[in-house]
Structure 1
Amino acid sequence: MTAAPPALAPSPLPEERKALLARVVEGLDGPSLWWLSGYAAGLAHASPAPQPGLAVLPGGAAQASQRLTVVYGSQTGNARREAEKIAAEAEAAGLNVRLLRADAYPQRELAGERLLYLVISTQGEGDPPDDAIGLVEFIAGKRAPKLPELKYAVLGLGDSSYADFCGIGRRLDARLAELGASRLFAAGEADLDIDTVALPWREQALVQARTLLKASATPSATVTALRPHAVSLYSHDKPFAAELLLNQRISGREFKGVGFLKYGGIGKDVRHLELSLQGSGLHYEPGDALGVRHRNPGLLVEGVLQALELDGDASVQEKNEALPLREWLATRRELTRLSRPFLASHAAQSRSEQLNDLLGPARNADFTELLGSHQLVDVLRRWPAQWEPQALVAALRPLAPRLYSIASSRKRVGEEVHLTVDVLDYQAFGHAHVGAASGFLSSLAEGDHAPVYIEANDRFRVPADGSRDMIMVGPGTGVAPFRAFVQERAETGASGRNWLLFGARHFNTDFLYQSEWQDALRTGELHRLDLAFSRDQAQKVYVQQRLRERGREVFDWLQGGAHFYVCGAIGMGKDVHATLLQIVAEQSGVDAEGAAEYLGRLQAEGRYSRDVY
């Protein structure tokens, strides 16, 4: 028995169309409704019609002066969640509010905005999240309008383990002021402990919005129709304990190439993990990520305790929670990712002029190198200091979950989720080092459980039109989502061609899912496979070189409507992007600006998607 369809929300549909829609959905079960929503979303994605975030508000089209617009740019979901919170709070206060993802925001409307809140994350070293690239470039560029009537506020999210902390948020905040807009209050700059900054920022934002806008008797929130997410009891804040079904190493055992010393002489250790989602109500699509709330491995915890000569059983109370110090370090605090605030505190504790000098503005390159090469325990050993348990817990950042690209399609594996995990395990500074989340996951045995949740990524999807071709660039573990893509396309009977470019160090040890790709080629699930193994010959070869070599074919596929995807490290993503610009310029005869505009159009059409980290 199916539930009665809900009353239709205010929409631009005429009455006869709404009545027809009600008849269409009448009697459909859950799976059928989900299919229908995906079909409709695909049509909307391909349509040049206005973005769905422009639905009519109660009482006719709301004037900009009566409306709050909240725009977010998010790479891992944190900025989206914060934007959703402020939009929900404003709606509950009786305000007209619309919530839009940055790539759905109609740039032509910026000149008419009167109240705008931007919530945006910074990716890597000062880059915008992929969904905000177009909007950031527009605001920073010559076409940006003067904004003398706009009032705004910016909430930046970042990671202080990077030198350019919240860089995009700061630059947008300054640029809007430069364009004549009025800053309502100082930009927020939130670290991994997001609520510390985001909560007071949201409180200020709500006060300002209520002061500037008249509360409506019939509040409304208008949101972009990205993808309806399945309802589950489990989420980012309440993860599901997923049982491990398989933990299988899929990389070779040992090599003695260039990376021998870096990886402690044991070679890369890449695992294929399969976890059960049975009974969770969690659903995912290819392109989504699995969030893992890990426990720091014992090697990391004991290393910190020994370096500081602290008692792991000492009780520490922080924010109304009392736990032994060892448990704080294992389950609540970051031990592998450093931050500028902690390093500044440690420099004061250790009275180290050298460390203090590294934190100076003139030493950004050295500071970045320190963040990339040292774990917490390395800093404690290199610059010894005395820390009290309470002060240490207060100074360290909260433990953040890790996101892993999902390597499976539910249509093929059912109530399971598969991951491809590169296990960090190496020697440095005379000691063994392990990764936090990868060490936790690799240590799980069949029957053990891991706390997980789904992080949707609506920007990274197989083409809604199954006849479209796909070009997928995924070196190393960046190949994970493309395993899901190929499975999904096979299970749905998509007729478009699938072309994968994979790269790694060595053919014999690092060709992830080799037998699966070979089988996919034989069965026609994969139509083309190009490989680049960088250390198997004197001259290093990377995926971007393979792209250049196939430039004519890459461009022909794009001209024929193909979608282009990239997944992997940020540096690789930049190299692939530069290569694409070169290919477009050479094959179409345009200049650099023309090539950039071409790729910009692909991004706007959803045909050039990246998941880089």
Structure 2
Amino acid sequence: MVLQVTNSPFNLEQADLLNRLLPSLTEAQQIWLCGYLSAMSSTNVLAENRPADLQTTSAIVAGVEESNTANSQSGGSREVTILFGSQTGNCQRLAGSLSRKLEEHGFQVTLAAMNKFKPNNLKKVENLLILASTHGEGEPPDNARSFYEFLNSKRAPQLDQLWFSVLSLGDTSYEFFCQTGKDFDRRLEELGGQRLSPRVDCDLDYDEPAGEWIEAVLNSLNARIHVSVSAAGGSTGASISQTTLEQSAYSRTNPFQAEVLANINLNGRGSDRETRHLELSLEGSNLQFEPGDCLGIYPENSPELVDSLIEAMGWKSDELVPVNKQGEERSLRDALLRHYEITVLTKPLIVQAAQLSSNEGLQALLTTGREQELKSYLNGRDLLDLVTEFAPWRGSARDFIAILRKLPARLYSIASSFKANPDEVHLTIRAVRYEAHGRERSGVCSVHCSERVEPGDSLSIYIQHNPNFKLPANPDTPIIMIGPGTGVAPFRAFLEEREELGAEGKTWLFYGDRHFVTDFLYQTDWQRMLKDGVLNRLDVAFSRDTEEKVYVQHRMLERGRELYEWLQEGAHVYICGDEKHMAHDVQSALVTILENEGGLSHDDAVAYLAEMGEQQRFQRDVY
């Protein structure tokens, strides 16, 4: 029977996909697909009535076409290797959830960060699951770099025995969205691997699609060994929050309302910067953290921007609109204020918005060959720019809400030790304000905290554990910390922690900002710690106080001999702050010091630093 819109529940595109696929399936493939769809239905993955239904159906079709799972033989291995590449800990957390779920269903799991896995062992792996975030401009995270380079080198082996699947985490506001995961997926196929299930690319709101990927992977693994999901333990659910049991009831998906205890401007009078020191109460939350962890804040959009957007579109502020897939509704103004992102434009948003506009200019912006022009337009503009520049618009406020992504949390390095400040968490947040395209702009969370949050108010927060930025296990180990501006925040936590522990290891801080008089963040803290011996050395660089700008990397080069001696003594090096400029320059300075003071070639110095990274002696928290 040929499927049509009139004789099936499918739309035209879905029917076309199925009509092309179904005649090509073998009897075994048809049987497998029936069981697969039945299992998916039992876990409610396909039961949600949402716009992504077409994408889900296409993914199932693609999964059958690409992986030919039905051609696998009975008795497939129950051994599964899970490798993660994670900068801030999200992929590591998801990998742990996946590992626990597979073990509950009788699989034998090997779980490892990519830099802890011997690449040559890939030839022995039959089932491989990759979870990878994308960092910077399409780059792999630090703990995935060596594995990524190996896999894309000529040394990578043929993997004809391999079954794999990839989960990618990223941010659609970046040009190279989920590029690392895409690269892993492509390369494993080139090396002969076959997909267990299609790659899933997740935006910032990753919990639900990641949960669905876990379900698809579990179903495919069970199908390979001819074991149904129900026989392995029944429906497992698609929500990551159901698979992750936390000591605290509060998490990323269930944030805690933390009372603001203090909100202080750290910059002196006359500074052109505003940096806020926030102290929040964790009392009653049971939330705990370690130095190096981050705090996520769910902010509010600017009320002025929300009101301007509603006025420009002629909407009604009190109209009820959905704020989640469960159908919960709020007023339009509240939804735009607290639930949806309106300050960032992405290509997927523009593509969907074009369907609500007849403006020829917007349609033309999406034509082939104008990618650079589109990229330029997206930079620094927001939803108000879009709706005013490409009117008229059709559709309701609900139609527009449907194309917006959720307002993501903002992550900030924690600036305090839990041991030193029980039931509190401290943050260092610099207010972002700038002019672009004829309008004043501001950072969503930073200006929310600086202008609209006072002691007694509350913020929606959660703890983001970061296992990749941690103090040495041995408190006697020397540490070197490089953190200009707000990048100094985690090092305040490091030193508070070491003070509480009575650690004997030497400590050295490199700090920089613009002006000594107005921009020396936490100056009295550092002076006290120097006096008490908690901080042994402090080198500062204030770039605007001298005719020639001086930055932290210049101070490092000036102290190259002593810094090299600390490295020889086993010191751990930490960098926190801007990746694009500062972190790159600091890393180059370290390489130069290894060359000049250690007599190494450039390649050997780079390899030395890479080896420090493998040993977790060189760690970065960059953004």
TM range (shorter): 0.7 to 0.9
Cα pair distance change 1:467/1:370, threshold 3 Å: farther
Q: Partner residue of 2:149?
A: 137
Q: 1:310 aligns with which of 315, 339, 344?
A: 315
Q: Percent identity between the aligned chains?
A: 42
Determine if the alignment matches structure 1 residue 321 to structure 2 residue 328: yes
1:390 corresponds to 2:398: yes
Aligned to 2:592: 582
Q: Distance in 1 between matches of 2:218 and 2:497?
A: 43
Partner of 2:180: 168
2:396 matched to 1:380?
A: no
Quickly say closer, same or farther: Cα 1:604–1:279, change in 2 above 3 A: same
Q: Kindly indicate whether residue 300 of structure 2 is the aligned counterpart of residue 295 of structure 1.
A: yes
Partners of 1:211 and 1:325 lie apart in 2 by 45
Q: Which residue of 2 aligns with 1:35?
A: none
SS at match of 2:420: helix
Deviates more, 1:286-295 or 1:345-354: 345-354
The answer to whether the Cα contact below 8 Å between 2:541 and 2:551 also exists between their aligned partners in 1 is yes
Moved over 6 A (4+): 214-219
2:381–2:437 CA contact under 8 A, matched in 1: no
Partner of 1:243: 259
TM-aligned CA deviation for residue 113 of structure 1: 0.6
Query: How far apart are the structure 1 equivalents of 2:513 and 2:170?
Result: 29
Partner of 2:604: 594
Deviations 1:446-465 (A, max 9, x none): 11111211111111111111
Which amino acid counterpart does residue 340 of structure 1 have in structure 2? K
In structure 1, distance between residues paired with 2:356 and 2:153: 45
1:531 paired to 2:536: no
- For structure 2, the 5+ residue unaligned runs are 1-74, 234-243
Name 1:209's counterpart in structure 2: 221
Q: 1:82 to 1:391 in 2, by over 3 A?
A: farther
Partner Cα separation in structure 1 for residue 460 and residue 565 of structure 2: 44
Distance of 1:542 and 1:415 partners within structure 2: 36
AA aligned to 1:247 is N
Change (3 A) 1:507 1:585: same
Counterpart among 115, 119, 123 of residue 107 in structure 1: 119
* TM-score when normalising by structure 2: 0.79
Quick one: distance in 1 between partners of 2:246 and 2:101?
Answer: 22
* CA-CA distance at 1:354 after TM superposition: 5.7
Q: Is the 8 A contact 2:89 2:467 kept in 1?
A: no
Q: How far 1:560 moved relative to its partner? A: 1.2
Looking at structure 2, the residues matched to 546 and 145 of structure 1 have their Cα atoms a distance apart, in angstroms, of: 45
Letter in 1 for 2:247: V
Is the contact between residue 470 and residue 563 of structure 1 (CA under 8 Å) also seen in structure 2? yes
Q: Select the residue among 312, 331, 338 that pairs with 2:338.
A: 331
Cα distance, 1:332 vs. partner? 1.4
**Whole-angstrom distance in 2 between the partners of 1:309 and 1:504:** 45
Post-superposition shift, 1:369? 4.9
Q: CA 1:489 to 1:363, structure 2 compared with 1: closer, same or farther past 3 Å?
A: farther
Q: 2:194 aligns with which of 182, 204, 229?
A: 182
Q: Which residue of 1 aligns with 2:618?
A: 608
Whole-angstrom distance in 2 between the partners of 1:154 and 1:70: 10
Deviation string, structure 1 residues 554-590 (Cα, Å, up to 9, x no partner):
2221111000000111212222222222322333333
- Which residue identity is paired with 1:284? F
1:231 is aligned to 2:241:
no
How far did residue 97 of structure 1 move?
2.6
- Tell me the distance in 1 between the aligned counterparts of 2:524 and 2:373: 43
CA-to-partner distance for each residue in 1:485-529, whole Å, 9 max, x for gaps?
111111111112111111222223221111211222222221111
- Of 483, 493, 498, which residue of structure 2 is paired with 1:484? 493
Question: Which whole-Å deviations, capped at 9, do the CAs of 1:167-208 have from their partners, x for residues lacking one?
Answer: 101111112122222233432212223256434433321121
User: Using the alignment, how far apart are the partners of 1:358 and 1:513 within structure 2?
Assistant: 47
Whichever residue aligns with residue 276 of structure 1, its letter is S
Cα distance in 2, alignment partners of residues 516 and 107 from structure 1: 45
| 1:67–1:213 CA contact under 8 A, matched in 2 | no
**Distance apart, 1:299 and its partner CA:** 2.5
Partner of 2:350: 343
For 2:596, the aligned partner's letter is E
Determine helix, strand or coil for the equivalent of 1:99: strand
> How far, CA to CA, are the matches of 1:600 and 1:145 in structure 2?
23
- Counterpart of 1:411 in 2: which secondary structure? coil
Shift in alpha-carbon separation, 1:383–1:531, aligned structure 2, 3 A: farther
The answer as to whether partners of 2:419 and 2:500 remain within 8 angstroms in 1 is yes
User: Take 1:354 and 1:101, find their aligned partners in 2: how far apart are those partners?
Assistant: 47
Would you say the 8 A contact 2:260–2:457 is kept in 1?
yes
Distance across 1 between alignment mates of 2:225 and 2:109? 10
- Asked whether the 8 Å contact 2:197–2:220 carries over to 1, the reply is no
1 CA distance for matches of 2:480 and 2:374?
Answer: 37
Q: Determine helix, strand or coil for the equivalent of 1:103.
A: helix
Query: How far apart, CA to CA, are the structure 2 residues paired with 1:272 and 1:373?
Result: 27
Q: Which moved more, 1:452-461 or 1:297-306?
A: 297-306
Instruction: Return closer, same or farther for 1:145/1:163 CA change in 2, 3 Å cut-off.
Output: same
Gap change, CA 1:195 and 1:406, over 3 Å in 2: closer
Query: What residue ranges of structure 1 are gaps of 5+ in the alignment?
Result: 1-62, 220-227, 256-266
Contact 2:159 2:191 in 1 (8 A): yes
The amino acid of 1:587's aligned partner reads: E
Structure 1 residue 470, shift from structure 2 partner: 0.9
Q: Distance in 1 between matches of 2:221 and 2:377?
A: 42
Task: Please state if 1:146 is matched with 2:155.
Answer: no
Residue by residue over 1:74-99, the C-alpha shift from the partner in whole angstroms, topping out at 9 and shown as x without a partner, is 23343234333433433333322333
Judge which range, 148-157 or 539-548, deviates more: 539-548
Alignment pair present for 1:68 and 2:68 = no
Residue in structure 1 matching 2:465, options 445, 456, 459: 456
Moved more, 586-595 or 463-472: 586-595
Q: Per-residue deviation at 1:362? A: 5.7
Q: In 1, are the aligned partners of 2:103 and 2:109 still within 8 Å (CA)? A: yes
